[in-house]
Structure 1
Amino acid sequence: MKSNEGVIQKNAKYHELDAKANIIYKFVMKYNDYMKTARDYGTGEIINMMEVHTLTVIEENPGITVTEVALEWNRTKGAVSQILAKLEKRDLIIRKKEHGNAKNVHLYVTDKGEVLSKAYKNYDIKELTWAEKTLRKSFTTEEINLFYKVMQKYTELLDMPDIEQKK
């Protein structure tokens, strides 16, 4: 009988934790779709959020390298290089080799890239202000700030090696 109670308790615990995890899963899936959706940020250029975020990192950090962009976004250099190739093809960025060291390539936005990056920032300000205003109808500023703090800590947990997560 005791073993049956243990199974029931474990099953109940699983369903309790799974219900919470499903909230995160649904958010991640919806946000991922949102990031992949190409849109016009006000310049007529249709681009997805990952591409425009990469463009903005370059605009804010002239001369940044592929490796540094990869570290910023926790992506492989190969994945970042694919995004950079798209941005370069659209004349949004240029690559410049370091004088005397052809191995180091530095990234810069073009005038067209700078216009798009700034338009995106304006779009983002409006979008994030709207989201925060909407959330404030249901939550206090402190609760919203706590949400961001929890998300930051959860991101750090995901960066831990598997063995560390299970302790």
Structure 2
Amino acid sequence: MRKVKDVIPNMCSLGKVLSQYTMVAQKSFDFGIGMQLYPAEIHTLSTVERLGGGGVTEIAHESGVTKGAVSQLISKLVKKELCVKEKDPENGARVVIKLTALGKIAVDNHYNFHLEHDRVFLEYLRSMDDEKLQVFDDICRNMNKWMDNYLK
């Protein structure tokens, strides 16, 4: 096993990536609908689409954020007319979040944005054999556990 000092350069490289990700997360984008959306907003809309609609609990679980954070984001997105809250026909006490037509356009444009903007990295991932992709997934899973410890 390596000594801690031997992996410090790797941790520094990761730190640079995380710093850049933080900057991206604070930047807004127009996904062809005439308004700026932050990554948390468009990713919440994408999660709603992927789920085919859902409650705050399902969206929070799928997104890996708190129900409170999702609830606040949904309120903003409803005001922007990108999604709506509807009563669940099977459970009147439950509210289901669904995309509006404008929200669907934003999600579709967001997907296309990533296909183009992230093309090189997506090709890199697609070129990995199963074993390397599993290692990548393991690293991501372990990094999530690592970050969870900071949020406790």
- Quote how far apart the aligned CAs of 1:130 are: 4.2
- Secondary structure at 1:64 match in 2: coil
Specify whether residues 17 and 154 from structure 1 end up closer, same or farther in structure 2 by C-alpha distance, changes over 3 A only. same
Partner residue in 2 for 1:78: 68
- Quote how far apart the aligned CAs of 1:97 are: 1.6
Q: TM-score, normalised by structure 2?
A: 0.80
In structure 2, list runs of 5 or more residues that go unmatched.
none
- Quote how far apart the aligned CAs of 1:56 are: 1.3
Partner residue in 2 for 1:106: 96
In structure 1, list runs of 5 or more residues that go unmatched.
1-11, 163-167
Q: Does the CA contact (< 8 Å) of 1:57 and 1:69 recur in 2?
A: yes
Distance (whole Å) between structure 2 residues aligned to residue 19 and residue 87 of structure 1:
41
Q: Does the CA contact (< 8 Å) of 2:31 and 2:110 recur in 1?
A: yes
- Secondary structure at 1:108 match in 2: strand
Specify whether residues 97 and 132 from structure 1 end up closer, same or farther in structure 2 by C-alpha distance, changes over 3 A only. closer
Q: TM-score, normalised by structure 1?
A: 0.73
Sequence identity percentage: 24
Q: Does the CA contact (< 8 Å) of 2:33 and 2:102 recur in 1?
A: no
Specify whether residues 149 and 48 from structure 1 end up closer, same or farther in structure 2 by C-alpha distance, changes over 3 A only. farther
- Quote how far apart the aligned CAs of 1:96 are: 0.9
Quick check: 1:22 aligned with 2:2?
no
Q: Does the CA contact (< 8 Å) of 1:62 and 1:107 recur in 2?
A: no
Quick check: 1:40 aligned with 2:25?
no
> How many residues get paired?
145
- Quote how far apart the aligned CAs of 1:127 are: 1.0
1:156 to 141, 144, 149: 141
What is the CA deviation profile of residues 34-62 of structure 1, one whole-angstrom value per residue up to 9, with x for unaligned ones?
12310112232210112111101212322
